[in-house]
Amino acid sequence: MAGGLAAIGVVMQPASARAEDPFAGIPNLSFRYYDVRGANSDEINASMHRHGPDNGEGDGAGSTDYRIAWSWGRKRIGSRCEVIDPEVRFSAVVLLPRLVNEEKQSAEVRFGWRKLIAQLRAHEAGHARIAYEHADEVREAVAGAPCGKEADWGQRALDRIRQLQADYDRRTVHGLVQGDIER
Protein backbone atom coordinates (compact mmCIF):
# COMPACT_ATOMS: atom_id res chain seq x y z
CA MET A 1 0.00 0.00 0.00
CA ALA A 2 1.33 3.41 -0.88
CA GLY A 3 -1.21 5.58 0.93
CA GLY A 4 -0.72 8.42 3.31
CA LEU A 5 -2.46 10.13 6.17
CA ALA A 6 -5.02 11.84 3.98
CA ALA A 7 -8.17 10.82 5.89
CA ILE A 8 -7.67 12.72 9.12
CA GLY A 9 -11.15 14.18 9.67
CA VAL A 10 -13.08 10.91 10.16
CA VAL A 11 -14.93 10.14 13.40
CA MET A 12 -13.31 7.36 15.40
CA GLN A 13 -15.42 4.25 16.12
CA PRO A 14 -15.95 3.15 19.70
CA ALA A 15 -13.80 0.19 20.79
CA SER A 16 -16.79 -2.17 20.63
CA ALA A 17 -17.35 -1.36 16.93
CA ARG A 18 -13.75 -1.95 15.82
CA ALA A 19 -13.09 -4.92 13.58
CA GLU A 20 -11.18 -7.88 14.93
CA ASP A 21 -7.60 -8.51 13.91
CA PRO A 22 -7.50 -8.91 10.12
CA PHE A 23 -4.75 -11.52 10.51
CA ALA A 24 -6.93 -13.75 12.72
CA GLY A 25 -6.88 -17.37 11.59
CA ILE A 26 -3.76 -17.10 9.43
CA PRO A 27 -1.01 -19.32 10.84
CA ASN A 28 2.77 -19.01 10.62
CA LEU A 29 2.93 -15.21 10.47
CA SER A 30 5.70 -13.03 11.72
CA PHE A 31 5.88 -9.25 11.74
CA ARG A 32 8.76 -6.88 11.11
CA TYR A 33 8.69 -3.12 11.50
CA TYR A 34 10.59 -0.18 10.11
CA ASP A 35 10.71 3.12 11.97
CA VAL A 36 9.18 6.30 10.58
CA ARG A 37 9.39 9.78 12.04
CA GLY A 38 7.79 13.12 11.48
CA ALA A 39 6.09 16.05 13.15
CA ASN A 40 3.09 16.04 10.79
CA SER A 41 1.38 13.90 8.15
CA ASP A 42 3.59 15.12 5.28
CA GLU A 43 6.81 14.33 7.15
CA ILE A 44 5.50 10.94 8.25
CA ASN A 45 4.47 10.07 4.68
CA ALA A 46 7.88 11.16 3.37
CA SER A 47 9.58 8.99 6.00
CA MET A 48 7.46 5.98 4.98
CA HIS A 49 8.34 6.52 1.34
CA ARG A 50 12.05 6.77 2.20
CA HIS A 51 12.19 3.76 4.50
CA GLY A 52 9.34 1.53 3.35
CA PRO A 53 9.42 -1.37 0.91
CA ASP A 54 9.47 -0.95 -2.85
CA ASN A 55 6.29 -2.51 -4.22
CA GLY A 56 7.53 -2.42 -7.79
CA GLU A 57 5.27 0.49 -8.68
CA GLY A 58 6.80 3.14 -6.48
CA ASP A 59 7.25 3.27 -2.75
CA GLY A 60 4.97 1.16 -0.58
CA ALA A 61 4.11 1.44 3.08
CA GLY A 62 3.94 -2.28 3.87
CA SER A 63 4.58 -5.66 2.36
CA THR A 64 3.75 -9.31 2.84
CA ASP A 65 6.32 -11.85 1.75
CA TYR A 66 4.94 -15.35 1.81
CA ARG A 67 6.50 -18.72 1.22
CA ILE A 68 4.67 -21.78 0.00
CA ALA A 69 6.97 -24.77 -0.10
CA TRP A 70 5.93 -28.21 -1.23
CA SER A 71 7.21 -31.75 -1.12
CA TRP A 72 6.02 -35.16 -2.27
CA GLY A 73 7.00 -38.78 -2.56
CA ARG A 74 6.78 -41.29 -5.36
CA LYS A 75 5.59 -44.84 -5.36
CA ARG A 76 6.57 -47.21 -8.15
CA ILE A 77 4.49 -50.24 -8.98
CA GLY A 78 6.22 -52.00 -11.81
CA SER A 79 6.66 -49.46 -14.59
CA ARG A 80 3.92 -47.23 -13.18
CA CYS A 81 4.77 -44.23 -10.99
CA GLU A 82 2.41 -42.47 -8.59
CA VAL A 83 2.81 -39.22 -6.65
CA ILE A 84 2.18 -39.81 -2.95
CA ASP A 85 2.06 -37.76 0.25
CA PRO A 86 2.14 -34.25 -1.24
CA GLU A 87 2.50 -31.58 1.43
CA VAL A 88 2.61 -27.78 1.50
CA ARG A 89 4.02 -25.47 4.13
CA PHE A 90 2.97 -21.83 4.41
CA SER A 91 4.62 -18.93 6.20
CA ALA A 92 4.54 -15.16 5.79
CA VAL A 93 6.46 -12.13 7.01
CA VAL A 94 4.55 -8.85 7.16
CA LEU A 95 6.50 -5.58 7.11
CA LEU A 96 4.74 -2.54 8.59
CA PRO A 97 5.76 0.98 9.58
CA ARG A 98 6.08 1.99 13.23
CA LEU A 99 5.73 5.64 14.18
CA VAL A 100 8.46 6.14 16.78
CA ASN A 101 7.12 9.39 18.21
CA GLU A 102 3.38 8.67 18.09
CA GLU A 103 2.79 9.86 21.66
CA LYS A 104 4.21 13.29 20.75
CA GLN A 105 1.83 13.80 17.81
CA SER A 106 -1.31 15.88 17.87
CA ALA A 107 -4.57 14.00 18.39
CA GLU A 108 -5.43 14.64 14.73
CA VAL A 109 -2.17 13.14 13.43
CA ARG A 110 -2.40 10.19 15.85
CA PHE A 111 -5.92 9.47 14.63
CA GLY A 112 -4.83 9.65 10.98
CA TRP A 113 -1.87 7.37 11.72
CA ARG A 114 -4.05 4.78 13.44
CA LYS A 115 -6.53 4.84 10.58
CA LEU A 116 -3.71 4.38 8.07
CA ILE A 117 -2.22 1.48 10.05
CA ALA A 118 -5.63 -0.23 10.31
CA GLN A 119 -6.09 0.11 6.55
CA LEU A 120 -2.55 -1.08 5.86
CA ARG A 121 -2.94 -4.08 8.19
CA ALA A 122 -6.21 -5.00 6.45
CA HIS A 123 -4.51 -4.82 3.05
CA GLU A 124 -1.46 -6.85 4.06
CA ALA A 125 -3.70 -9.40 5.80
CA GLY A 126 -5.50 -9.73 2.47
CA HIS A 127 -2.21 -10.70 0.83
CA ALA A 128 -1.41 -13.22 3.57
CA ARG A 129 -4.94 -14.66 3.41
CA ILE A 130 -4.83 -15.09 -0.39
CA ALA A 131 -1.57 -17.03 -0.12
CA TYR A 132 -2.75 -19.12 2.84
CA GLU A 133 -6.20 -19.90 1.44
CA HIS A 134 -4.81 -20.92 -1.96
CA ALA A 135 -1.75 -22.83 -0.73
CA ASP A 136 -3.66 -26.11 -0.87
CA GLU A 137 -4.03 -25.61 -4.64
CA VAL A 138 -0.28 -26.20 -4.87
CA ARG A 139 -0.68 -29.49 -3.00
CA GLU A 140 -3.55 -30.49 -5.29
CA ALA A 141 -1.51 -29.63 -8.38
CA VAL A 142 1.44 -31.70 -7.18
CA ALA A 143 -0.88 -34.59 -6.25
CA GLY A 144 -2.34 -34.60 -9.76
CA ALA A 145 0.98 -34.32 -11.57
CA PRO A 146 2.58 -37.18 -13.45
CA CYS A 147 5.87 -38.34 -11.99
CA GLY A 148 8.66 -36.02 -13.03
CA LYS A 149 6.30 -33.03 -13.43
CA GLU A 150 5.50 -32.35 -9.76
CA ALA A 151 7.70 -29.26 -9.48
CA ASP A 152 6.39 -27.79 -12.75
CA TRP A 153 2.76 -28.30 -11.80
CA GLY A 154 3.38 -26.90 -8.30
CA GLN A 155 5.09 -23.87 -9.83
CA ARG A 156 2.10 -23.24 -12.13
CA ALA A 157 -0.21 -23.26 -9.10
CA LEU A 158 2.14 -20.85 -7.31
CA ASP A 159 2.17 -18.59 -10.39
CA ARG A 160 -1.65 -18.51 -10.23
CA ILE A 161 -1.44 -17.36 -6.59
CA ARG A 162 0.98 -14.60 -7.65
CA GLN A 163 -1.56 -13.51 -10.26
CA LEU A 164 -4.28 -13.42 -7.59
CA GLN A 165 -1.97 -11.17 -5.53
CA ALA A 166 -1.44 -8.82 -8.48
CA ASP A 167 -5.19 -8.73 -9.16
CA TYR A 168 -5.84 -7.90 -5.49
CA ASP A 169 -3.36 -5.00 -5.62
CA ARG A 170 -4.91 -3.76 -8.84
CA ARG A 171 -8.48 -3.89 -7.43
CA THR A 172 -7.46 -2.18 -4.17
CA VAL A 173 -4.94 0.20 -5.78
CA HIS A 174 -2.38 -1.31 -3.39
CA GLY A 175 -4.77 -0.79 -0.48
CA LEU A 176 -5.79 2.81 -1.17
CA VAL A 177 -9.40 1.75 -1.80
CA GLN A 178 -9.38 -1.18 0.61
CA GLY A 179 -12.99 -1.72 1.70
CA ASP A 180 -14.66 -5.11 1.35
CA ILE A 181 -12.79 -6.75 -1.52
CA GLU A 182 -13.54 -10.24 -2.78
CA ARG A 183 -10.43 -12.35 -2.81
Does any domain span residue 41?
yes
Does any domain span residue 181?
no
Measured distance CA(93)–CA(81) in Å, rounded: 37
Does any domain span residue 60?
yes
Does any domain span residue 160?
yes
Q: Which domain holds residue 130?
A: 26-172
Tally of domains in the chain: 1
In contact, 134 and 76? CB cutoff 8 Å? no
Does any domain span residue 47?
yes
Q: Return the closest-CA partner of residue 126 out of 156, 170, 83, 86.
A: 170
pLDDT of residue 56: 66
* Range 71-100 average pLDDT: 94
Please determine, for residue 51, whether its predicted confidence score (pLDDT) is greater than 70: yes
Does any domain span residue 157?
yes
Does any domain span residue 180?
no
* Range 63-88 average pLDDT: 94
Question: Dihedrals φ, ψ of 143, to 5°?
Answer: -60, -35
pLDDT of residue 101: 86
Residue range 111-159, pLDDT digits in tens: 999 999 999 999 999 999 999 999 999 999 999 999 999 999 999 999 9
* Residue type at position 131: A
Please determine, for residue 5, whether its predicted confidence score (pLDDT) is greater than 70: no
Does any domain span residue 10?
no
Task: Give this prediction's pTM.
Answer: 0.82
Please determine, for residue 46, whether its predicted confidence score (pLDDT) is greater than 50: yes
| DSSP code at position 11 | P
- How does DSSP assign 75-117, residue by residue? EEETTEEEEEEEEEEEEEEEEEEEETTGGGS-HHHHHHHHHHH
Between 51 and 141, the higher pLDDT residue: 141
| Cβ neighbours of residue 179 closer than 8 Å, sequence gap 6 or more | 172
Is 155 exposed, middle or buried (CB count within 10 Å of its CB: 0-12, 13-18, 19+)?
Answer: middle
Q: Give me the chain's average pLDDT, please.
A: 84
Measured distance CA(108)–CA(110) in Å, rounded: 6
Helix (H) or strand (E) holding 64: strand 63-77
